[in-house]
C-alpha cells in the first residue's frame, strides 16, 4: 500500500523552517483528490502518526494540519 503526504514549509522571519503544514494526498499528484474533508483529515492523521515516522516527516519541527474534521 502506498501512502502519500505532502508537506509545505512554514518559515520564520529569518527564512528558517519553523514548521510544516501536512497535506492529504491520495496519489503522487500534487493536489487534493477528494475524499470528503473529514475522511481525508482522519486518513492524514492516521498515516502521519501510525504509519509514518512523524519526526522524520517533519525533520524534528512542529507540524500543522488544516483540519475540517467534524464529529
Report how far apart, in Å, the C-alpha atoms of 28 and of each of 4, 13, 14 are. Answer: 7, 31, 31
Q: Where are the domains of the chain?
A: 4-65
pLDDT of residue 40: 86
pLDDT of 71 higher than 80? no
Give the neighbor-by-neighbor strand order of the sheet with 4-11: 4-11, 17-25, 62-65
**pLDDT tens-digit profile of 47-69?**
888 888 888 889 889 999 877 65
The more confident residue out of 4 and 34 is 4
Query: 59: which DSSP letter?
Result: T
pTM given for the model: 0.78
C-alpha dihedral sign at 39, 32, 9, 7: positive
Amino acid at each position: 500500500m502506498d501512502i502519500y503526504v505532502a508537506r509545505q514549509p512554514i518559515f520564520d522571519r529569518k527564512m528558517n523552517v519553523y514548521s510544516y503544514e501536512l497535506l492529504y494526498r491520495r496519489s503522487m499528484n500534487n493536489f487534493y483528490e477528494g475524499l470528503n474533508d473529514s475522511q481525508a483529515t482522519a486518513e492524514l492523521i492516521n498515516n502521519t502518526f501510525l504509519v509514518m515516522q512523524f519526526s522524520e516527516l517533519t525533520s524534528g519541527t512542529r507540524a500543522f494540519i488544516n483540519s475540517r474534521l467534524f464529529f
